[in-house]
Amino acid sequence: MPTSAATADSGGRPRDGADGAELAAAAMTGDRRALARVLTAVENRTSVAEAALRALYPRAGRAHLVGVTGPPGTGKSTLVAALTRMARAAGRAVGVIAVDPSSPITGGALLGDRVRMQEHAGDRDVFIRSMAARGHAGGLAPTSIAAADVLDAAGFDLVLIETVGTGQSEVEVAAAADTTVVLEAPESGDEVQAIKAGLLEVADIVVVNKADRPGAGRTASHLRAMLVAAAARSVSPGRPQPKRPEVLLTTASTGDGVAELLAALDRHRPGPGAGRGASERALVRAEAQVSAVLGTRLDARLRDPVVRPERDRLVAEVAAHRLDPYTAADALLALLAPGVG
């Protein structure tokens, strides 16, 4: 096995006619090249991915999926590396998906992350994958979730998904995990509080990283106060009070506080078995995936040569404002699936 497989972003070129189910089977037995190929197929949403995911899916659902998000530069990648190191020391297999916001193939941030994760090169129980945030027609979240499913089925026990918490879809990726960690760094002033409030809403655990910097304690207190205020606002009679996120301090660059964060993650891990599948997060994830597949399937059906002329006709009617888009969509639905819609 090549040592560079630890950062097998390219995934290699898929073999001609590579069979998805075969690749999936190989990936599940620890073949890292096969794993990389499946992930490439997932990212490109090819038919190989569909066959692979069908084969993999029953084996997934065991890993702890952890989303790590937060504003740029707060230390997400450094923290993911520190968590990986610590989880590995405890004998756990760790998969990492880094959703790179800027670069479709190779960005500066990605390169930096690779360098940071070099220490894991050659470790069979660490697999790091970068995904471009752009160019996911069916949505970034379903694609990232499918990639996490692949790592889960391949036996990685902890799957960390890093996204920059700037765009809605990136935040959705992290929020679809079992546990969402929102990172902040110490800073003065409250000019970005509006953004933070939005990010805090998806947090299960809030981490103030760069605790070695001045103002970390103050930032943590400030965030705790914001969370208390948010919890007070969300009280509704007859409904259980949602659990208020813990606020932890870490220095990712030295590893301080990372053991405590890992312990907090473990406490938040959903229980195994049937209970897990019924968890709210699992249902949200499943819904995102089924909706994404439905959308893809509908698009494919609309491109069908039998249906296409009618679709084109209806679209032209809508363009000319002789028909509204709702009526047109209903007519197409009735055509595709009589009795539905």
Ligand X SMILES: Nc1nc2c(ncn2[C@@H]2O[C@H](COP(=O)(O)OP(=O)(O)OP(=O)(O)O)[C@@H](O)[C@H]2O)c(=O)[nH]1
Binding status of residue 209 toward Mg ion by CB under 5 A:
no
Pull the structure tokens for residue 30: 């620890």
- Going by DSSP bridges, is the β-strand pair 205-208/246-249 parallel, antiparallel, or unpaired? parallel
Judged by CB, which is closer to ligand X: 105, or 334?
A: 105
- From CA 307, how far away is CA 326, in angstroms rounded? 18
The piece of 13-21, 145-153, 246-254, 282-290 that touches ligand X (CB under 6 A) is 246-254
Does residue 108 belong to the site contacting ligand X (CB under 6 A)? no
Min dist CB 74 to ligand X, Å, is 5
User: Which CB, 158 or 185, lies closer to ligand X?
Assistant: 185
Q: Are 163 and 69 in contact (CB under 8 A)?
A: yes
Helix (H) or strand (E) holding 61: none
Report, in Å, the least distance between residue 258 CB and ligand X: 10
Site string for ligand X, 155-174 (x = CB under 6 A): ---------x----------
Task: Please select the residue that binds ligand X; options are 37, 76, 129, 136, rule is CB under 6 A.
Answer: 76
Min separation Cβ 335 and ligand X, Å: 46
CA quadruple 262, 268, 274, 278: dihedral sign? negative
Contact between 77 and Mg ion (CB under 5 A)? yes
Q: Is residue 257 at the binding interface for ligand X, with CB under 6 A as the rule? A: no
Give the DSSP letter of residue 4. Answer: G
> Helix 76-89 vs helix 108-116: angle between axes, to the nearest 10 degrees?
30
Given strand 158-164, what is the order of strands in its sheet? Answer: 126-132, 94-100, 158-164, 64-70, 179-184, 205-208, 246-249
Q: Which does 72 bind (CB under 5 to 8 A by kind): Mg ion, ligand X, none?
A: ligand X
By CB under 6 A, name the binding residues for ligand X.
72-78, 109, 112, 164, 209-210, 212-213, 251-253
